[in-house]
Amino acid sequence: MHLISLGIILAILISVLQLFPSKNKGRQYSKFAFAFIFGAFNFLLLAFYALTIYGYFHWSAAFTLDLFNAYITQLPKLLSVAGVSFIFALALALLCFLSIFLIYIYLSRYILLTNENIENTRAIKLRFRTAEISLKPVTCIRLMTIACIALYALTYRLWLPREPFAIAITNNWSLSNLAPIELFLTKFDTHKSEIKFNVNASNIKPRPLILITIDALRSDEMGVYGNSVNNTPFLSSLLRTHQLQKFDVVHSICTVSFCGLLGLLRSNYWSALKKPSPTISDALKINDYQTIFLLGGDHTNFAGLKNFYGNNIDFYKDGSVDSSNYPNDDFEVLKWLRDIDPKAPKSTFMFIHLMSVHEAGLHHEEFQKWQPFVAPIASALLAGSTPSNEYGVAYRNNYNNGILQADAMVRKIFKELKNKGMLDNALVIISADHGEYLGEFNRFHHGQEPYEPVSRIPLLVYDPLNPKYPDRKMASQVDIAPTFLYAIGANIPPIWQGVPLQVKTSRSSVSIASGDTSGTVALIEGRRYKFLKKRDANTEWLFDLNSPEAETRNIATLVDQKDILLKIRTLNNASEK
């Protein structure tokens, strides 16, 4: 793709040179044109790949045209969230371009392009140190165009599916590792499946159902889960007064938002996302529920996530609705909540997604408690390989500030629900789509293999009508949707894989995954083990999560762990079918 692009650029350059005479001044123009056109092309290429690398590090997928269009108008705000001023970023970009331009000016000393008459026909001469080539522009352009088309036709099947240019331009997310490729090729038809889980309306006991997910929130960093940092004062107060129930060991199904949110709403592990499955909105629609989605973040342009939520949504808003506002500002979500007026509050399901904890989330000044929360640019640029301690401290401070803000957002959501008369009998579940690396394994952000920092999430339940749920040694995101249906007496779709939290279960394992890795967490002989396996290789890991070494020591090759490995591998293979 790059050779094809360079060929086209060179053809354009040769065409431009026809505008200049062959005198000395024209030669200077030709050098300038050569340096400017190739410098601009290389600068844009570097910028594109910088964004692509950023995408793979931050959301495990390439950068696309949809995301560019969605965020270009919000670039100053996005940079400020990252602690970078727009003026500094612009100056840095200009400096980079100028550096590349000067390199090409230097190279033009060795490649002299002139526009001269040869046999009464204007042609382009490419003069090297020891050779000279004369090219007629029209002939050259024709030949290069034919060569580029031929090269594309002969090779595109090999590189197109994973070529970042192609992915960006076509907005093709199917090979992005955000979810199984089959998910992007199927669409669920609710009406064809109603008979599988439809119920008699007289059995339904309607009550408000509220789902709050907080992007990138891991449980062990929360005060309500025992962390020494007091970043969840509201949630902790609810727990102390026995208004909140806490599940300690909870895993997300994967490590990024796309599969995490879909797995939650469909009650399906990674591998089951390959098959058509109803969402909770589909199931509740059949039971005469109104469904409202108020989502921080841009779910419309991020891999078209909105399209996978289904059609049975009565009111939908996400961060893409107003290009004048930053899409990751949870204060906007609160405004939407205040303005909404459910027509039947008792028969309403509300899904609220918050971005406060996510690194791209806007943190308002009153929640910037832990300092410093912005790392110096040099430290940030090095964070992908060997993160500095300075960067790690700032990243964790920023993360704690985000949790503090998210806690305040939840408090305000509870207040708004109270004002609308929806809180007293509501079932409210607070969870996350995935966790976050905070320096473990020299990693930050999320995605990649489902180690504990990025797969352990909170699961908090506010249920005044059922203040005591049975203990559960291990829970999963897939248990949330069935819990809502069980609470109102609705039938649970048989294709769902979760178990309602109100029900005792003998389940001893849950599935976890990422784009190229399958995994299982299981209780075996009273200990919690994690098994991970690369899908396209025979590489395996086995961790004893109860041991001090936990995920820092792979015990898969130890002879005394042979039986454990066999048991958990069998469980993992079954979950992948």
pLDDT in tens, 441-500: 888 888 889 999 999 999 999 999 998 999 999 999 999 999 999 999 999 999 999 999
Q: Which of 154, 170, 186 is the last residue of a domain?
A: 170
Based on DSSP, count helices (H) and strands (E) in the chain, helices before strands: 18, 18
- Pair (32, 163) in one structural domain: yes
Q: Is 503 a domain residue?
A: no
Higher pLDDT, 138 or 456: 456
Other beta carbons less than 10 A from residue 84's beta carbon = 16
- pLDDT, mean of residues 35-46: 84
Amino acid letter for position 417: L
Can you tell me the distance from the alpha carbon of 546 to that of 131, in angstroms, rounded to the nearest whole number? 71
- Residue 539 per-residue DSSP state: -
Burial 43-72 (b: 16+ CB within 10 A, else e): beeeebeebbeebbbbbbbbbbebbeebbe
Residue 155: per-residue pLDDT: 62
- Pair (482, 562) in one structural domain: no
- Pair (121, 232) in one structural domain: no
**Is residue 129's pLDDT more than 90?**
no
At 542-551, the pLDDT tens digits run 999 999 999 9
Q: Is 26 a domain residue?
A: yes
Can you tell me the distance from the alpha carbon of 51 to that of 62, in angstroms, rounded to the nearest whole number? 8
Q: Which of 112, 143, 170 is the last residue of a domain?
A: 170
Number of domains in the chain: 3
Beta strand pairing call for 112-118 and 121-127: antiparallel
Residue 551: per-residue pLDDT: 94
Q: Is 504 a domain residue?
A: no
Q: Which of 112, 136, 170 is the last residue of a domain?
A: 170
CB of 106 closer than 8 Å to CB of 31: no
In this structure, what are the phi and psi dihedrals at residue 373, rounded to the nearest 5 degrees?
Answer: -115, 0
* pTM for this prediction: 0.85
Can you tell me the distance from the alpha carbon of 177 to that of 519, in angstroms, rounded to the nearest whole number? 15
Other beta carbons less than 10 A from residue 174's beta carbon = 16
Q: Is 540 a domain residue?
A: yes
Q: Is 25 a domain residue?
A: yes
- Pair (324, 473) in one structural domain: yes
**Is residue 142's pLDDT more than 80?**
no
How many residues can be counted in the chain? 577
- Pair (52, 133) in one structural domain: yes
Query: Roughly how many angstroms between the first and final C-alpha of the chain, as a whole number?
Result: 37
Higher pLDDT, 155 or 277: 277
- Pair (117, 226) in one structural domain: no
Mean pLDDT of the chain: 83
CATH number of the domain residue 394 falls in: 3.40.720.10
- Pair (122, 53) in one structural domain: yes
- Pair (165, 313) in one structural domain: no
Q: Is 164 a domain residue?
A: yes
Comparing C-alpha atoms, which of 147, 139, 141 is closest to residue 118? 139
Q: Is 329 a domain residue?
A: yes
Q: Is 140 a domain residue?
A: yes
Residue 37: per-residue pLDDT: 80
Residue 467: per-residue pLDDT: 87
Other beta carbons less than 10 A from residue 295's beta carbon = 27
At 215-266, the pLDDT tens digits run 999 999 999 999 999 999 999 999 999 999 999 999 999 999 999 999 999 9
In this structure, what are the phi and psi dihedrals at residue 25, rounded to the nearest 5 degrees?
Answer: -65, -40
CB-count exposure of residue 235 (10 Å: 0-12, 13-18, 19+) = buried
- Residue 150 per-residue DSSP state: H
- Pair (462, 525) in one structural domain: no
Note the maximum CA span of the chain: 95
Task: State the residue range of the domain holding 166.
Answer: 2-170
- Residue 477 per-residue DSSP state: G
- Pair (220, 337) in one structural domain: yes
- Pair (141, 239) in one structural domain: no
- Pair (159, 280) in one structural domain: no
